[in-house]
A and B are shown apart, each in its own frame.
Chain A
Amino acid sequence: MWRYCLLSGLAASLAAAAPAHAYVAYVSNEKGNTVSVIDTDSWTVTHTIKVGQRPRGIEFTRDGKFVMVAVGDDDTIQMIDTKTHEIADTLPSGPDPELFTQDTSGKILYVANENDNTVTIIDIAKRARLGDIQVGVEPEGMTVSPDDKILINTSETTNMAHFIDTQKHEIVANVLVDSRPRFAQFKPDGSELWVSSEIGGTVSIIDPVKHAVTGKIEFAIPGLRREAIQPVGIGITRDGKTAFIALGPANRIAVVDTATRKVEKYLLVGQRVWHMAFTPDEKYLLTTNGVSNDVSVIDVASQKVIKTIQVGELPWGITITPQ
């Protein structure tokens, strides 16, 4: 009895010592035409917001006031007011926007428009279109270098990562990667660019100065066909040491040591895992699992899946409150 009391007392003090930092995660549900709002304290869905058709790319504005969601079949990006959970405005993207990225200041948005081989540049505050850049066939993955100088766009049928000068709005280099490049992510120090190739089944590591592929990560999971391993989303920790790679229909997240470029572990998550987001304290990583209609919560330190949260139909993208 005493021991029990002691233990529970200890648990209580532990809980008190680590005050819950409740963050909010927004998940776009591609088929459901909704966005699920998850409270990271209780790990429950607190709201479901109706949005336009085929919501995919989703991101908080840097000030945390809005969540932008690309609704591809409505050819626009909707802005959800995070206080009221209502759609407050739209951004003039080109046709069929899928993924987008913003510069570090949160002023400029770059959108991949799959249907007309362009990247659209938008002034977020003015909600105005600043211009377009012609890229390869089926632009998809988008990211900006940490110094804001280079925008990366991947084109799925051209199979390239295009390096775009953000001042001149011109392509300065093109790097061939494996088939269907879907997602691009810089290491936080900007020293490497990681690009996932969904059909090629690899992640290419690119030297952003030499514009050359310096390494490739391949995946092998016992009992799984090679074709079932389709890398999509990538998340890299702030210290740059660990990368998490979503492997689509392989239903796993690969944990990669960025120094050795070796896969250290495969974490089983839900079916057809697409994208992911860290909580700002980097304690947790949340992944969207398209076919099983849920979100997996990974404890980053222990590299274990600790929770599954049911969301809407075919969850695709995810974004979490900025700090």
Chain B
Amino acid sequence: MFRWLVGAFAFAISLGLTAPLARAADPVEVNIGYIHHAGTRETLSLVMQPAENDGIAGARLAIEDNNTTGKFLNQHFNLDEVRLKAGDDAVKAAVTLASHDGFIIADLGADELLKVSDALRDNGTLLLNVGGLDDRLREEDCRANVIHVAPTRSMLADALAQYLVWKQWKRWLLVVGSHDKDKLFADALRRSATRFGAKIVQERTFEDTGGARRTDSGVTLIQRQMPVFTQQAPAYDVLVAADESEVFASYLPYRTWDPRPVAGSAGLMPTSWDAAHDQWGAVQLQNRFVKLNSRRMTALDMQAWTAARMIGEAASRTNSGDPKRLADFIKGPDFSVAAFKGQPLTLRDWNLQLRQPILLADGRMVVSVSPQEGFLHQVSELDTLGVDRPETKCKLH
């Protein structure tokens, strides 16, 4: 008994001495799954066409970064990819991943993500949502096993609105696409206008009547259509387009009847990341990404990078690879992650949404970064973006 006590004491001492050395005695393996759909979406601009590995390319870079740090801590990170083909069952695939991965980075539709999170509810796997912008996933449909790294539509809309209001472009002509996600973005924009004192002078709907996004004589026709579509509007400062479906917004700049700037889904666009972002050490990340993937880094790449880095950060801070311990740390008050946005990113504890500055980019340059100066908040200025604690409908349990 005495010997045991002495042994335990000596062990405690050696632990106390070695822990600050940031050395782990036993190797730690951290397995991370990544689930997304095969194929890419169509965009109006060829330049914006996402690559096949959009998103997961960012996660791969973060795994490299985590492993560089891991060398010093005896930690190793692995990434398992599942690429769903048409007809594949996301739940089945996620359950298989969860059998050996404590974390799953998910780029799925909102309903799919909810089904997956409910299926994994009791097995301790933490889901990191990198693709879903839907506010409802953080509000009435929030789940305790899903962390949201992607910003919400309301965060994106607020980031844009703050800048437009600061610029004194307060009269908006809102043009909305005819698909559901366009309407959701328009809802977010209306909410932002009310919050920050902009006025929507008129709303128009751009019906998707089908047809190819690319034709050999496209420009001639568009040049006639867009001025006509935007004529006879009441006096406005900026045209705000809600077109996540990529049907019309990119056709608007330079073609409006009145000479007005375009924002929203074209022109000045709110985003979590842009290939042109170079502040706060971001060039280093951009360079590493290009070196690894031979292309520029998109918002989805960055969201996936951040998700995998959050897991790596938790592993190095806790000196552990235990998924539950890491998940608790990520959800706890001491967690923050650096992601080249000029300030630490933390989680909103009421709905597990990652707080983050939002970039406003025009496709070539980053024009500004929100929150804008002067939009104050009693807790964090980042909480001027999106649904705040007093308004939340989320009940985590």
Contact = CB atoms under 8 A, between A and B. Distances in A.
Q: Answer whether A and B are interacting partners.
A: yes
Contacts of B220: none
B72 A115 contact: no
B370 to A, nearest CB: 14
A201 B346 CA distance: 14
A157 B343 contact: no
Contacts of B342: 249
Interface in B18-49: 20-23
A82 interface: no
A170 to B, nearest CB: 12
B65 A200 contact: no
Chain B interface mostly = helix
A96 B286 CA distance: 13
A200 B343 CA distance: 8
A155 B284 CA distance: 12
Given A136-B68, A159-B316, A227-B380, A175 B21 contact: yes
Contacts of A275: none
B152 interface: no
Interface residues of B, number: 26
Contacts of B195: none
A171 to B, nearest CB: 7
Contacts of A138: 281, 284
A302 to B, nearest CB: 33
Nearest to A163: B21
B1 to A, nearest CB: 32
Contacts of A227: 343-344, 380-381
B265 interface: no
Contacts of B69: 136-137, 155, 157-160
A137 B65 contact: yes
B344 A179 contact: yes
Nearest to B16: A212
B22 A160 contact: yes
Given A136-B72, A160-B72, A199-B336, A115 B21 contact: no
Contact of A176 (B284, B317, B344): B317
A171 B380 contact: no
Contacts of A201: 344
B20 A175 contact: yes
A173 to B, nearest CB: 6
Given A158-B72, A225-B380, A212 B20 contact: yes
B288 interface: yes
Interface in A188-235: 199-201, 210-213, 225, 227-228, 230
B338 interface: yes
A294 interface: no
Contacts of A313: none
A159 to B, nearest CB: 7
Nearest to A158: B69
Contacts of A162: 72
Contacts of A174: 21-23, 72-73
Given A176-B317, A179-B336, A213 B20 contact: yes
Contacts of B338: 156-157, 159, 179-180, 199
A179 B310 CA distance: 12
Interface string B6-26: 000000000001001111000
Contacts of A210: 17, 20
B225 interface: no
A175 B68 CA distance: 15
A59 interface: no
B20 to A, nearest CB: 3
Nearest to B21: A211
B157 to A, nearest CB: 22
Given A174-B23, A179-B336, A114 B381 contact: no
Contacts of A200: 336, 344
Interface string A254-295: 000000000000000000000000000000000000000000
Contacts of B316: 158-159, 176
Nearest to A225: B381
B337 A179 contact: yes
B194 interface: no
Contacts of A96: 284, 287
A117 interface: yes
B312 to A, nearest CB: 9
A155 B337 CA distance: 14
A298 B187 CA distance: 53
Interface in B96-155: none
11 contacts: A114-B281, A137-B69, A158-B68, A160-B22, A160-B69, A160-B72, A174-B22, A199-B338, A199-B344, A212-B20, A249-B342
Which 9 pairs across A and B sit closest by C-beta, in order of nearness?
A212-B20, A227-B343, A158-B69, A174-B72, A199-B338, A179-B338, A176-B22, A180-B338, A137-B65
Given A136-B72, A171-B72, 18 more contacts: A137-B68, A137-B69, A138-B281, A158-B65, A159-B316, A159-B338, A160-B22, A160-B69, A173-B21, A174-B22, A199-B336, A199-B344, A200-B336, A200-B344, A210-B20, A212-B20, A213-B20, A227-B344
